Structure formats: C-alpha cells, structure tokens
C-alpha cells in the first residue's frame, strides 16, 4: 500500500527534474496543513533538510506565522474560495513570499500547492528606492537647509539600520571638515567638531574622493578614534562616502554601526553613494543661491552706502549713516571709522556704531598701534578670525569698556595722497566668522568713503582759501584810501593852525577817528592766516586717550 507522500509524488510529479532544479520552493500541503512533499529549493528556503520537512505541521515549518498560513488555507478551502492567497513572511532572517493555490482533488479532501520565493533582496531594493525617494523629497523641500540635511541623514540612517550618522562639510578657509549634521546617541557632542583633512575615515574619504566600507575599524589604520574618545561613542563599522560637485569634494557622509550587529554591505554603500550625490547637488545649489543672494545684498548695500556718502548732509552725519549701513549689511556687532592726523600720525575714532559706540569718538591710537594702526601703517586690509590669537591685537580697550572682540574686519581709507584712516567692523552678530567676501565689500566701501572724505576736505580748504582771499582783498581796498585820507587831514591841520585856529579842535577829533580806523585795519590784517587752517576732521579734538583696538 502506497503512503500519502508516495501517492502525491506520483500524482503531481514533484520529483520532476525541473522542480528539483527550480529556484523557487514548491510544497504539497494536505487539508490538515501537513507537508506532503517539498522540492530541494523549498527545503533550503525553509532552512530544513528535505526529509525533515515531509509530514511536518504548519507550526513546525512556519513557527510564528503558522496561524496566518492556516487562515489562508481555510479561506482557500471554502466553496467560493479566491483563486490564490499570497502572504509575505519574515522567516529565519529572510523575507519570503508564500503563494498558496488549491489543488482540484480527484478523491477525498482538497490539497494545496505552496510556492515559496525568497524576496529578501527585492524587498530590500524596494526599501532602498523608497528611502532614496524619501530622502530626495526631503532634500528638495523648501525647509531650512540645515534642517533638511538633518532629516535626510535621519532617514537614510534608519533605512540602512545605522546606529549613528553624520554629514561633514569642508571649510575651505581652514582646510578642515566640520560636523554640520549629526544623529545618534552622542550627536550633541559631535556637532560642530572639526577634523583635519585626511584625519580619520571621513578625512581620508574627503581627501581622496573614494568611498569606504570598513567592517571592522579596529583593523583599519585610517581610523583615528579621536572623536570616539571625545564623545564616548564606540565605533565598530563605518560606511563613508564623499560628497562631490563640479567644484570638487565639499564633504562626506558617514554611517556607523549596523543595528543588527553585522557589518554594512556593498549594497548599503551604493545606496549611501546615491544619497550623497543628491545631497551634494542640493548643498551646491543652496550655496549658489546663498552666494547670489549675498551678492545682491552686497550690491544693494554698496549702492545705499554710495547714496549716503554722496548726499548733501554734514560729513560727520554722512559717515555715521554709512558706518551704520555697512555694519548692518555685513551683520557686524560694532563698527567704527578712524581718521589719521597728518601732523601726529595718530588715528582718531571719528564715528562709531555698536553697544559701546559712545566710548569711542575722538579717542586716539598711536601710529601703528593695534589692528587698526597696523592696517593704517601697512595699507593692507585685514581679516582676523580670532582676535586674541593675533599678536597685533590688544584687549586693553575691551577691558576698559566691557566689550569682547572676537573677530575683526579692517580696511584702509586710501586716496592719491596716501592713507587717511581706517574703517573696521567687529564680531559677526550671528556668531559666525567674517569671510573674504565680507572683506572685499568693506574694501570697496572704504575706497568710496576715502574719496568722499578727501573731497570734503578739499572743499573745506577751498572755502577757507576763498575767505582769506576775500578778506585780503578787503584790506587792500581800504588801505589806499585811508592813507590818502590821513595825508589830507595832516594838510588841513597845518593850514588851520596858521589861518583858522577855530577849526583845529574839529580836525583833531577827525584825526583821532582816523587813527582808530587805521588800528582796526591793521588788526584785521594780522588776524588773516598766511595759509588755510586744517578742517575740523584734521584738528586735535577730544580728550587725549590712546587705546588699542
């Protein structure tokens, strides 16, 4: 007598060579859910030798998913049953698709045919594409760029099951990598930290432009461990890829430690590379838009300052308005304009803006003293990102007035006659550092301001000269007639003394008035200067005080 298994083999030909070599698992299941037959692929997918699968129950084969499979078989057994039931099950670290079909019985209760497919890679690819689409949607959103990058790193880290992740941007000024975005258990300790280009895994990737998959960092000499020591994090494995644009490598994206405890895969690396490529394009576009926006703001600021400088206001008021505008345009905390005394070479704070502006006007710096003094002496503009690290800076003024100088922009006021002063800005109000673009804009404004100041000085000298000429001409016009009048009075006095003594008192009074007029004329002539005097911007005004800034 044939067993049910042998009968099934004969009826359904499960020993057919095609079934034996089929990559999909095929199982025969009876009405009670027992496995009557299975091809080799089914045994491998179910992680059981073929012989041990035969005759086993659903609980033995499917474990936690047995109830779901039993329910599907029950639905197929009904008179108005669906054509097939499809289930997707996570089974022993694989994602399987189980397709159940009712077999038409020739006798007895119906049986079922089960086809098992391993769709682990397919599911993973779908998840990766879904993650990539979500990251792309995040990156193309209208949110603040930093928040967009944070969301993108969080999403890709979740998709690749990473314990932590970060995005580092290259600082071209210092040739360092800055942790711009970080997620994970020690994100707050990582954010804002800097790495030298070439330092650690991320530094190597950013310098070479090559992606890295490091399954065990302890075996890789490129791993530095400096960030781990500073943050308390323990890095086991790393995925790191460069962010590239047409301008070059702008940074790197890295993920740390697979949450399942296993190393990352090549597929993980490829997905992260795709994300990094898109991220780099978004960052490049955002930087371009920022640059264009900044250029527009700079041109607008330059135009407004030019309008102010060319206005007809009092020069001191014009300079005050100009400093206020450029301080605002470059987001500085404080600003000042110092003019050079030609006689002493000292720099005098003429106008100032900021929290301690009232302390500065008319205070003086000795020649070459402080950052401003160095700029005035050398004629070179200066960007000082860390004031206290520069030996030319002194904090004496800060201590005196309670101000803290962090960074400085300083540009000379140049004319054809030489350096006439300095304009400088202190501390970006947003806490960031000034840039070379900021310095170039300040230089352009300083050049225009110097021309306006020099023009105002020339006009002042011309006015004084015209006054002197007018007064000199007036003196010359009166001196001739007065001398002639004096001679006539002398002649009248002599004649009256001889012929008409009664007229002598009257003539004497006239002669006294004449002498008074002549003394007045001499006093006026002595009061006239030999050359025009300095304008009020060249005079020594204010209390004598010498401070470094």
The CATH class for the domain spanning 299-456 reads alpha beta
- Report the distance separating Cα 192 and Cα 141, nearest Å: 24
Q: Identify which of 34-43, 214-223, 398-407, 535-544 has the greatest average pLDDT.
A: 214-223
Question: 363 vs 491, which has greater pLDDT?
Answer: 363
Are 211 and 185 a contacting pair, CB within 8 Å? no
> Could you tell me the pLDDT band of residue 548, with boundaries at 50, 70 and 90?
very low
Q: Is 231 left (phi over 0), alpha (psi -120 to 50) or beta?
A: alpha
Task: Describe the strand order of the beta sheet including 418-428 as a list of residue ranges.
Answer: 364-365, 347-353, 332-340, 418-428, 408-415, 382-384
Question: 43 vs 468, which has greater pLDDT?
Answer: 43
Domain boundaries, the chain: 4-118, 124-290, 299-456, 460-527
As a whole-number percent, the residues of the chain with pLDDT over 90 amount to: 25
Average pLDDT over residues 377-402: 87
Which segments of 119-185 are extended strands (E)? Answer: 162-171, 176-183
**4-118 and 124-290 have identical folds:** yes
> If we measure between CA atoms, which residue out of 171, 146, 165, 166 comes closest to residue 250?
171
Question: 64 vs 382, which has greater pLDDT?
Answer: 382
Q: Tell me: the pLDDT tens digits for 96-129?
A: 888 998 887 655 566 888 898 888 777 777 766 7
Are 294 and 323 a contacting pair, CB within 8 Å? no
Average pLDDT over residues 468-482: 59
- In a 3-state reduction of DSSP, which class is residue 532? coil
CATH architecture group of domain 4-118: 2-Layer Sandwich (3.30)
pLDDT higher than threshold 90 for residue 257: yes
Q: Tell me: the pLDDT tens digits for 319-334?
A: 888 888 888 888 899 9
Supply the pLDDT for residue 143.
Answer: 61
Which CATH number does the domain 124-290 belong to among 3.30.1360.20, 3.40.50.2000, 2.60.40.420, 3.30.450.40? 3.30.450.40
Average pLDDT over residues 453-470: 67
CA 62 to each of CA 56, 91, 96, 258: distance values in angstroms, whole numbers, following the listed order: 10, 8, 11, 27
Question: What predicted TM-score, i.e. pTM, was given to this entire model?
Answer: 0.52
Are 382 and 400 a contacting pair, CB within 8 Å? no
Question: 418 vs 310, which has greater pLDDT?
Answer: 418
Average pLDDT over residues 170-185: 89
Average pLDDT over residues 151-156: 82
């Amino acid at each position: 007598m044939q067993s049910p298994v042998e009968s099934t083999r004969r009826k359904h030909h499960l020993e057919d060579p095609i079934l034996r070599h089929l990559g999909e698992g095929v199982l025969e299941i009876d009405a009670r859910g027992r496995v009557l037959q299975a091809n080799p692929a089914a045994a491998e997918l179910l992680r059981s030798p073929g012989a041990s699968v035969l005759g086993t129950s659903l609980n033995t084969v499917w474990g936690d998913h047995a109830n779901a499979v039993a329910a599907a078989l029950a639905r197929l057994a009904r008179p108005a049953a669906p054509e097939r039931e499809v289930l997707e099950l996570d089974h022993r670290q694989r994602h399987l698709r189980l397709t159940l079909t009712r077999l038409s019985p020739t006798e007895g209760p119906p049986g079922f045919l089960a086809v098992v497919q391993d769709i682990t890679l397919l599911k993973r690819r779908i998840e990766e594409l879904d993650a990539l689409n979500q990251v792309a949607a995040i990156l193309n959103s209208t949110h603040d760029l930093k928040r967009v990058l944070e969301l993108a790193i969080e999403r890709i880290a979740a998709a690749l099951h990473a314990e932590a992740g970060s995005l580092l941007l290259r600082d071209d000024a210092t040739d360092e990598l800055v942790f711009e975005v970080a997620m994970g258990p020690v994100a707050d300790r990582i954010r804002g930290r800097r790495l030298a280009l070439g330092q650690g895994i991320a530094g190597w990737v950013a310098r070479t432009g090559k992606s890295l998959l490091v399954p065990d960092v302890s075996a890789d000499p490129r791993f530095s461990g400096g960030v781990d020591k500073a943050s308390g994090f323990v890095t086991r494995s790393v995925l790191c890829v460069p962010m590239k644009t047409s301008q070059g490598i702008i940074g790197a994206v890295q993920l740390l430690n697979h949450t399942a405890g296993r190393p990352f895969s090549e597929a993980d690396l490829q997905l992260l590379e795709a994300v990094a490529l898109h991220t780099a394009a978004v960052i490049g576009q955002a930087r371009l838009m920022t640059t264009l926006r900044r250029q527009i703001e700079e041109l607008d600021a330059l135009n407004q300052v030019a309008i102010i400088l060319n206005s007809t206001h009092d020069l001191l008021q014009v300079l005050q308005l100009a400093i206020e505008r450029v301080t605002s345009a470059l987001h500085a905390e404080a600003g000042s304009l110092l003019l050079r005394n030609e006689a002493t070479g000292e720099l005098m704070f003429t106008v100032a803006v900021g929290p301690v502006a009232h302390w500065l006007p008319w205070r003086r710096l000795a020649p070459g003293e402080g950052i401003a003094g160095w700029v005035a002496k050398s004629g070179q503009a200066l960007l000082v990102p860390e004031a206290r690290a520069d030996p030319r800076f002194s904090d004496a003024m800060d201590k005196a007035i309670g101000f803290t100088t962090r960074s400085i922009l300083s540009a000379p006021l140049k004319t054809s006659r030489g350096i006439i002063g300095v304009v400088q800005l202190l501390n970006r109000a947003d806490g960031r550092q000034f840039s070379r673009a900021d310095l170039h804009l300040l230089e352009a404004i300083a050049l225009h301001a110097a021309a306006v100041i020099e023009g105002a000085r020339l006009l002042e000298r011309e006015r004084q000269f015209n006054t002197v000429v007018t007064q000199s001409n007036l003196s010359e016009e009166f001196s001739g007639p007065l001398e002639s009048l004096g001679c006539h009075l002398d002649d009248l006095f002599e004649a009256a003394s001889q012929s008409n003594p009664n007229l002598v008192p009257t003539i004497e009074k006239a002669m006294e008035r004449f002498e008074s007029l002549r003394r007045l004329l001499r006093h006026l002539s002595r009061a006239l200067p030999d050359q025009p005097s300095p304008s009020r911007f060249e005079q020594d005004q204010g209390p004598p005080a010498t401070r470094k800034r």
